[in-house]
């Protein structure tokens, strides 16, 4: 949902040395203390390493005290680094079973989810309520994590012991649940799909469970579970009616729900939302828009947080950024998924108005990649770039086919910006990689100089792109009163087009540019 900043630059760079070390499995046994706002954790992890490796490094915030480290069930020496742990391992090993026991007070989030941490609070009925959001800082904020940004465990198990009056929900499906009879409950959840480490989460509160199912296009059933706080059950039953039409839409355009083995669930959280895989964090108050405000800016009535965060199951959780600088693609494609949702449920005219309204939010202060100052532009400007990319397709049918192929080819994979550029450039006529560089690496959008003038019985349209990189070109669309389209390729040269159709005019919503001049 938010820009990822990686505070452990030194360790991140050293990850290049250990690039083949790979995290496969994580089992966290967590005991939170609501009074002291602290946690005790046993982190059991399975790693693949190179046979010549003598050191395994993991990231973990410095406020945690390490009680014990085991390697292959044997006590091991370790060095506590500023932001992690360095652990000697047997050189002949190719697989390591690592267990780290630690305790401490995790960082608390001041303004979640925009800054990461634990959220210790109380619900309206005065019961303890805990959530975690750590996309910005990374999962090392609360458990030992890999150095490589795109190192995803293949599966996870999260076990929590907590006050028996509450309920704990994490990623995946319920594995076990027991009550010790003296005030403590232990619940365990297992996720059987690869998962970004920042998506691994804790939710503890006075939850009630709502069960449902969704019939997918192939006839199979996807389990649906909703976990509102007990006093919000009726609100959740009403608001989450939006889930099934959304899932149907996203399946149609992006492919089958990527994590069917783990089901789809939504959990009420003490912060506005996050794309926690198979456990979508939801804190939008069971109202449409964004906290009740019309985030669409065109009067559309749908729950923005529910739709956007669920869209990340396809864009971010399934198709993931390979490196930090590629993170824009998760937010850009997920924001574009909002357009797709509006297109399917409200119609094309509303969808075009919806994506055009995003221009009001673009700042154009800094490039989307190569800087940490892009802010909301990776969402809005990124989505506008994808909508412009759509215009390279010969028709809508071709575009939807290409988009779905992209989502399916990189399903459960991480992808770099370069790989994305190459993939689309091979499939869309007239598209060159410089198109992406213009929108992603340059702060300002391309400027379109456009003019329409009448010469006798003919209308002449002249056009060219200014302030763009060499070789840049983009489609611009002319439309007439019958909504018929003429697609023109604009570049740095002055070009013209003639027509006798007086109603033909520039469609400024189809592509993203700054209009310099228009005489009509």
Q: Which pLDDT does position 51 carry in this prediction?
A: 87
Q: Do 318-443 and 9-104+141-193 have the same topology in CATH?
A: no
Q: Is 216 exposed, middle or buried (0-12, 13-18, 19+ CB in 10 A)?
A: middle
What's the pLDDT tens digit per position in 389-399? 999 999 999 99
For residues 226 and 286, the answer to whether their CB atoms sit within 8 Å is no
Q: Which pLDDT does position 109 carry in this prediction?
A: 96
**Candidate from 97-106, 313-322, 396-405, 508-517 with smallest mean pLDDT:** 508-517
* DSSP annotation string for 378-434: GTHHHHHHHHHHHTTSSSHHHHHHHHHHHHHHTTTEEE-HHHHHHHHHTTSTT--TH
Residue 519 has pLDDT above 80, yes or no: no
- Give, in degrees to the nearest 5, the angle at Cα 398 between 392 and 400: 100
DSSP type of residue 261: G
Cross-strand bridge partners of residue 28? 43, 158
Choose from 35-39, 90-94, 292-296 the range with maximum mean pLDDT: 35-39
Tell me the domain boundaries of the chain: 9-104+141-193, 318-443, 447-517
Q: Which pLDDT does position 324 carry in this prediction?
A: 87
For residues 259 and 274, the answer to whether their CB atoms sit within 8 Å is no
| CATH of the domain spanning 9-104+141-193, picked from 2.40.30.10, 2.60.40.1730, 3.40.1280.10, 2.40.10.500 | 2.60.40.1730
DSSP type of residue 480: -
Q: Which pLDDT does position 18 carry in this prediction?
A: 45
**Looking at residues 193-208, what average pLDDT do you find?**
97
* DSSP annotation string for 100-140: EEEEE-PPBPSSTTTS-EEEEEE-TTS-EEEEEE-TTT-GG
Cross-strand bridge partners of residue 447? 466, 514
Residue 208 has pLDDT above 80, yes or no: yes
Residue 5 pLDDT level (bands cut at 50, 70, 90): very low
For residues 291 and 272, the answer to whether their CB atoms sit within 8 Å is yes
Q: Which pLDDT does position 518 carry in this prediction?
A: 58
Q: Which pLDDT does position 17 carry in this prediction?
A: 44
Q: Which pLDDT does position 222 carry in this prediction?
A: 98
Between CA 413 and CA 175 the distance in angstroms is: 26
* DSSP annotation string for 180-209: -SSSEEEEEEEE-S---GGG---EEESB--
In total, the chain counts a number of residues equal to 520
Residue, of 54 and 4, whose pLDDT is higher: 54
Residue 484 has pLDDT above 50, yes or no: yes
Residue 428 has pLDDT above 70, yes or no: yes
* Beta carbons within 8 Å of 143's beta carbon, 6+ residues apart: 26, 28, 41, 43, 60, 200
Q: Which pLDDT does position 1 carry in this prediction?
A: 52
**Looking at residues 58-65, what average pLDDT do you find?**
98
Largest Cα–Cα separation, the chain? 92
| CATH of the domain spanning 447-517, picked from 3.30.365, 2.60.120, 3.40.1000, 2.60.40 | 2.60.40
Instruction: Indicate the average pLDDT of the chain.
Output: 94
Q: Which pLDDT does position 14 carry in this prediction?
A: 43
For residues 335 and 358, the answer to whether their CB atoms sit within 8 Å is yes
Residue 63 has pLDDT above 90, yes or no: yes
**Looking at residues 333-356, what average pLDDT do you find?**
97
Nearest to 171 by CA among 273, 296, 261: 261
Q: Could you give the 3-state DSSP secondary structure of residue 34?
A: coil
Percent of the chain past pLDDT 90, that is, above it, reads 91
What's the pLDDT tens digit per position in 66-125? 999 999 999 999 999 999 999 999 988 899 999 999 999 999 999 999 889 999 999 999
Between CA 340 and CA 518 the distance in angstroms is: 30
**Looking at residues 397-405, what average pLDDT do you find?**
98
Q: Which CATH architecture has domain 318-443?
A: Orthogonal Bundle (1.10)
Residue 6 has pLDDT above 50, yes or no: no
Structure tokens, 24: 């496969």
What's the pLDDT tens digit per position in 216-257? 999 999 999 999 999 999 999 999 999 999 999 999 999 999
**Looking at residues 451-469, what average pLDDT do you find?**
95
């Amino acid at each position: 949902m938010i820009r990822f900043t990686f505070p452990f630059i030194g360790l991140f760079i050293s990850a290049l040395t250990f690039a083949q070390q790979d995290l496969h499995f994580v089992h966290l046994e967590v005991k939170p203390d609501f009074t002291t706002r602290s946690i005790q954790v046993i982190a059991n992890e399975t790693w693949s390493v190179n046979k010549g490796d003598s050191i395994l490094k993991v990231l973990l915030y410095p406020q945690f005290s390490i009680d014990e480290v085991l390697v292959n069930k044997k006590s091991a020496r370790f060095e506590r680094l500023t932001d992690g742990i360095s652990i000697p391992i047997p050189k002949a090993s190719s697989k390591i079973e690592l267990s780290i026991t630690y305790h401490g007070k995790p960082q608390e989030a001041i303004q979640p989810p925009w800054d990461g941490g634990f959220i210790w609070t109380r619900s309206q009925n005065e019961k303890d309520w805990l959530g975690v959001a750590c996309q910005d800082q990374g999962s090392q904020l609360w458990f030992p994590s890999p150095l490589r940004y795109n190192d995803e465990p293949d599966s996870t198990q999260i076990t929590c012991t907590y006050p028996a009056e509450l309920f704990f929900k994490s990623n995946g499906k319920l594995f076990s649940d027991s009550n010790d009879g003296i005030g403590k409950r232990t619940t365990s959840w297992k996720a059987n799909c690869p998962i970004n480490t920042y998506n691994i989460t804790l939710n503890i509160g006075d939850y009630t469970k709502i069960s449902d199912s969704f019939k997918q296009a192939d006839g199979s059933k996807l389990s649906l579970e909703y976990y509102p706080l007990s006093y919000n059950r009726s609100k959740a039953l009403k608001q989450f009616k939006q889930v099934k039409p959304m899932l149907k839409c996203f399946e149609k355009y992006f492919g089958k729900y990527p994590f069917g083995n783990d089901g789809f669930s939504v959990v009420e959280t003490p912060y506005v939302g996050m794309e926690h895989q198979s456990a979508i964090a939801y804190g939008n108050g069971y109202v449409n828009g964004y906290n009740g405000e019309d985030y669409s800016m065109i009067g559309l009535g749908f729950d923005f947080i529910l739709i956007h965060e669920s869209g990340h199951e396809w864009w971010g959780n399934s198709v993931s950024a390979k490196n930090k600088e590629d993170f824009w693609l998760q937010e850009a494609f997920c924001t574009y998924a909002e357009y797709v949702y509006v297109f399917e449920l409200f119609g094309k005219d509303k969808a075009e108005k919806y994506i055009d309204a995003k221009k009001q939010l673009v700042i154009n202060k800094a490039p989307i990649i190569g800087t940490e100052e892009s802010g909301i532009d990776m969402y809005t400007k990124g989505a506008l770039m994808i909508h412009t990319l759509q215009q390279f397709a010969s028709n809508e049918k071709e575009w939807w086919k290409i988009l779905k192929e992209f989502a399916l080819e990189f399903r459960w994979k991480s992808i770099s910006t370069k790989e994305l550029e190459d993939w689309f450039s091979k499939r869309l006529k007239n598209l060159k990689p410089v198109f992406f560089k213009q929108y992603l690496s340059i702060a300002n959008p391309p400027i379109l100089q456009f003019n329409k003038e009448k010469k006798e019985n003919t209308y002449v349209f002249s056009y060219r792109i200014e302030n763009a990189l060499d070789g840049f070109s983009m489609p611009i669309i002319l439309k007439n009163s019958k909504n018929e389209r003429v697609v023109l390729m604009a570049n740095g040269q002055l070009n013209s087009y003639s027509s006798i159709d007086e109603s033909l005019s520039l469609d400024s919503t189809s592509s993203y540019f700054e209009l310099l001049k228009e005489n009509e």
